């Protein structure tokens, strides 16, 4: 047998031997599950303990709950495979998908019987902002730049309803988290701001903020709810088990940590509406962190 033919046979054998393992995908003993950093990290981790226990029991895996420092670091962690499952905001998912095409959304939360929610624009009742038009020339509080309900959606609303362009008509102030926006508006540090309506309701319920000191200026159009996303290169059996764990979950303590009543199936097309909103705002997804 010629040396050239021998090398060709060995190479072909190596490919055949590697193919089954590759096809099986990754099946790690520990699953890292990331939660969107839209509130205080310690609060999120504490509230997620029922989720950790539930997933450990159902999936028979060690579960690590992770809260990254901000939306960008969560996107990068998903991009480079440092987390296996993540609970993204709608727009942060769109950004993540643009950088990590292999990730797969598979479930979306249901609130009040529907898989969507709203952004709420609020103002300090004693402050100078009484209407959307009053935002002109003033600071306006947003959360993270990659937040849907605390940046993308309210920014689009201010443009479409009041003709206010954040690049020239008011001063965007990014405060990081939704609760930080609510606190800043109540304290008068910014006269107005925006956050998720569901988070706003929870903050009022917890008495973290005083609704009597705030005015609701507007509600956004419907926003597709937060997706649960997983790495596309996981083993098919593990992906099926993860999908089933969320879609069939009825544990109220687990669902409470997501502020939802349950989950229904979702796919990438569910979030095309946000890609269209980004186009309206002339946002270049590829250049955003």
pLDDT block averages, 10 residues each, the chain of length 289: 46 42 78 90 91 97 94 92 95 92 96 91 98 98 92 94 95 96 98 95 95 97 93 97 97 90 95 88 70
Q: Based on the fold, state whether residues 234 and 197 are members of the same structural domain.
A: no
Selection from 216, 269, 237, 220 nearest residue 104 by Cα: 269
Structural domain total, the chain: 2
State residue 202 phi and psi, 5-degree precision.
-65, -40
Determine the pLDDT at residue 145. 87
The answer to the question of residue 72 being in a domain is: yes
Instruction: Show the CA angle centred on residue 200, arms to residues 194 and 201, nearest 5°.
Output: 150
**What CATH number corresponds to the domain at position 126?**
3.40.190.10
Q: Based on the fold, state whether residues 70 and 97 are members of the same structural domain.
A: yes
Q: Based on the fold, state whether residues 137 and 212 are members of the same structural domain.
A: yes
Tokens of 278: 């980004």
The rounded distance, in Å, linking the Cα atoms of 225 and 218 is: 19
Determine the pLDDT at residue 287. 63
pTM: 0.73
The rounded distance, in Å, linking the Cα atoms of 163 and 264 is: 36
The rounded distance, in Å, linking the Cα atoms of 180 and 192 is: 12
Q: Based on the fold, state whether residues 243 and 103 are members of the same structural domain.
A: yes
The answer to the question of residue 16 being in a domain is: no
State residue 166 phi and psi, 5-degree precision.
-65, -15
Q: Based on the fold, state whether residues 109 and 128 are members of the same structural domain.
A: no
Domain region containing 98: 23-113+226-271
Q: Based on the fold, state whether residues 69 and 209 are members of the same structural domain.
A: no
Q: Based on the fold, state whether residues 70 and 31 are members of the same structural domain.
A: yes
Determine the pLDDT at residue 103. 97
Largest CA distance in the chain: 90
The answer to the question of residue 1 being in a domain is: no
Helix (H) / strand (E) element for 34: namely strand 30-35
Rg value, the chain, Cα: 22
Residue length, the chain?
A: 289
């Amino acid at each position: 047998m010629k040396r050239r033919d021998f090398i060709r046979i060995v190479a072909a054998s190596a490919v055949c031997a590697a193919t089954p393992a590759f096809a099986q995908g990754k099946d790690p003993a520990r699953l890292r599950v990331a939660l969107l950093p839209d509130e205080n990290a310690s609060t999120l981790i504490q509230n997620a303990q029922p989720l950790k226990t539930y997933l450990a029991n159902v999936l028979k895996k060690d579960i690590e709950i992770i809260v990254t420092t901000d939306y960008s670091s969560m996107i990068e962690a998903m991009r480079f495979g440092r987390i296996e499952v993540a609970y993204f905001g709608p727009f942060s998912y769109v950004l993540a998908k643009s950088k990590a095409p292999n990730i797969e959304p598979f479930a979306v939360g249901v609130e009040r019987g529907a898989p969507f929610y709203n952004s709420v624009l609020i103002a300090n009742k004693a402050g100078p902002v009484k209407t959307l038009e009053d935002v002109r020339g003033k600071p306006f509080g947003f959360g993270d730049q990659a937040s849907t309900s605390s940046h993308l959606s309210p920014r689009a609303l201010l443009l479409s309803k009041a003709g206010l362009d954040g690049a020239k008509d008011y001063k965007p102030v990014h405060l990081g988290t939704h609760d930080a926006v609510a606190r800043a508006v109540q304290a008068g540090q910014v006269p107005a701001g925006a956050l998720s309506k569901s988070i706003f309701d929870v903050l009022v319920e917890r008495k973290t903020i005083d609704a009597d000191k705030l005015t609701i200026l507007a509600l956004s159009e419907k926003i597709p709810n937060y997706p649960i996303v997983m790495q596309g290169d996981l083993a098919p059996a593990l992906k099926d088990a993860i999908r089933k764990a969320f879609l069939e979950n009825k544990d109220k303590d687990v669902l409470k940590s997501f502020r939802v009543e349950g989950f229904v199936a979702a796919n990438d097309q569910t979030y095309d509406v946000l890609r269209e909103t980004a186009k309206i705002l002339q946002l270049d997804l590829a250049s955003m962190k």
